[in-house]
Structure 1
Amino acid sequence: MPSPRRTKALLVALMSVLGLTLFLTYYTSSSQSPYMRTLRSVTSPGGRLSSSSEPVVPALPAAVYPEARAEIFTLLEANAVVVFSKSYCPYSKKAKALLLDKYSIVPAPYVVELDLRDNGAQLQAELEVVTGRGTVPNVLVNGKSIGGGDDVEQLDTDGTLKGTLLRLGGERITQVSLQSQAQ
């Protein structure tokens, strides 16, 4: 008879495989799924961005907070640009000022203030698993994290923010311009 420790390890492994299988089945059931279209650029083993147009589903560990993970994927399906933020964070304020005030992005970025939500801590924990980034802000374009406040500011300073948004946004982002040019 297997030891209780071994039995527990086997059950955990089985539940992880089952969770991943359910996730993959749900999100890959249609090649036209909006989530599938968001996963066009992923980091390759060599550390370079893949330019493949084939949908790629990342291998994710089982969700600790399945409802929070499902909510994240729902937000990513519905919005080309999502900013996970905290209302008091100066880095979040910097990213939001650039994306919402300096630039006109169509459709407009969707902001999720984690500190104002009952499940904010769970969303942030799942974001770290999904994106590899556990801090805020976390700016996602078509499901790919482009970083936080300093990263977005650097892209703007380098003159590459507009191009990055358009490239990663694909057909989902129809316009990126400076506010003064948009009017």
Structure 2
Amino acid sequence: MPSPRRLKLIAVAAVTVFLIVIYYNSGRDAVKRETYMQTMQRAAQDRENAGVGNRLREAADAAKKAADMKAGPKPDSPRAVEAVMKGRLEQGPVGKEGDDDDDGGEYSAIDDLAGILRRSPIIIFSKTYCPHSRTAKDLFLHAYKIVPTPYVVELDNHPHGSELQDLLAKQTGRRTVPNIMISGKSIGGNDDVQQLEREGRLGDTIHSMGGKRIMKVLKLKE
């Protein structure tokens, strides 16, 4: 039988081992708890960052939509307008302005515009009471001899003038009059053509844009 002194030593050793095991396990659990807390904190931070990013994207999208609504619809590109008008110009004979479809259908502004553009390579959309329109018409009809003669559409006398003006605004980006078109493309209003005239480039511009449809452009003596 072990002596009392040996039993005492064995008991002390057992207690020491027990305490070491407890200390080791508690330390390992603390490390696990710390690692777990760090992982949870990182996950929470990631979720918060993702939420901020989503809110920023939503705010940017909302701002873009608000800006687009404030700016209104963008005009079609010149190439798109030219392509549409070219297809329309190649269709059928010219009818009267403002006529409904031959089959009795509803008025079509784009068909009406195509019919107008077939009347002459130069179209002046005007209003009878507009002084700027009168100045532009005087330049094209009296200061120059142009063959074929530019065709004038008085929107205030046209039965569907407002609808036609809406279409012009959409396709050319210009709602005001005069709106002067050569071969289906708008060259602007009175200020624009007067600037070309002052620079001595109006005749060349008419020739280059009108192409073979323009047979004569002669500046008349003042």
TM-score normalised by structure 2 residue count: 0.52
- Please say if 1:78 is aligned against 2:119: yes
Root mean square deviation of aligned Cα: 2.7
Q: Whose helix proportion is higher, 1 or 2?
A: 2
Answer yes or no: is 1:92 the counterpart of 2:144: no
Match of 2:195 in 1: 154
The answer to whether 1:33 aligns with 2:74 is no
Counterpart selection for 1:130 from 152, 158, 171: 171
Unaligned runs of 5+ in 1: 1-23, 35-64
The whole-number CA distance in structure 2 between the counterparts of 1:26 and 1:175 is 23
Give 1 or 2 for the bigger CA radius of gyration.
2
* 1:37-48 alignment runs, 5 A limit: none
State whether structure 2 residue 205 is matched by structure 1 residue 180: no
Structure-1 separation of matches of 2:213 and 2:189: 21
Between the aligned partners of 1:101 and 1:123, the Cα distance in structure 2 is 26
Q: Take 1:85 and 1:78, find their aligned partners in 2: how far apart are those partners?
A: 16
Cα 1:28–1:118 change in 2 (3 A) is closer
Shift of 1:67: 1.1
Segments of 5+ residues of structure 2 without an aligned counterpart are 1-82, 92-105
Q: Tell me by how many angstroms 1:93 deviates.
A: 0.7
Tell me the equivalent position of 1:10: none
SS at match of 1:91: helix
Alignment-mate amino acid for residue 191 of structure 2: D
Could you tell me which residue of structure 2 aligns to residue 67 of structure 1? 108
In 2, the alpha carbon distance for the partners of 1:179 and 1:137 equals 22
Partner of 1:165: 206
% identical equivalent positions: 43
Distance 2:193 2:143 in 1: 12
Distance 1:138 1:105 in 2: 18
| Partner SS, residue 208 of structure 2 | helix
Residue 90 of structure 2 aligns with an amino acid whose one-letter code is: S
Off by >2 Å, runs of 4+ in structure 1? 24-29
Q: Distance in 2 between matches of 1:175 and 1:116?
A: 29
How far apart in 2 are the matches of 1:177 and 1:87? 26
Q: CA deviation at 1:161?
A: 0.3
User: 92-101 vs 67-76, which deviates more?
Assistant: 67-76
Give the deviation of 1:132 after TM superposition.
1.5
> Which residue identity lines up with residue 98 of structure 1 in the other structure?
L
Aligned-residue offset at 1:25: 9.3
Aligned amino acid, residue 208 of structure 2? R
Q: Which has the higher contact order (CA 8 A, sep 6+)?
A: 1
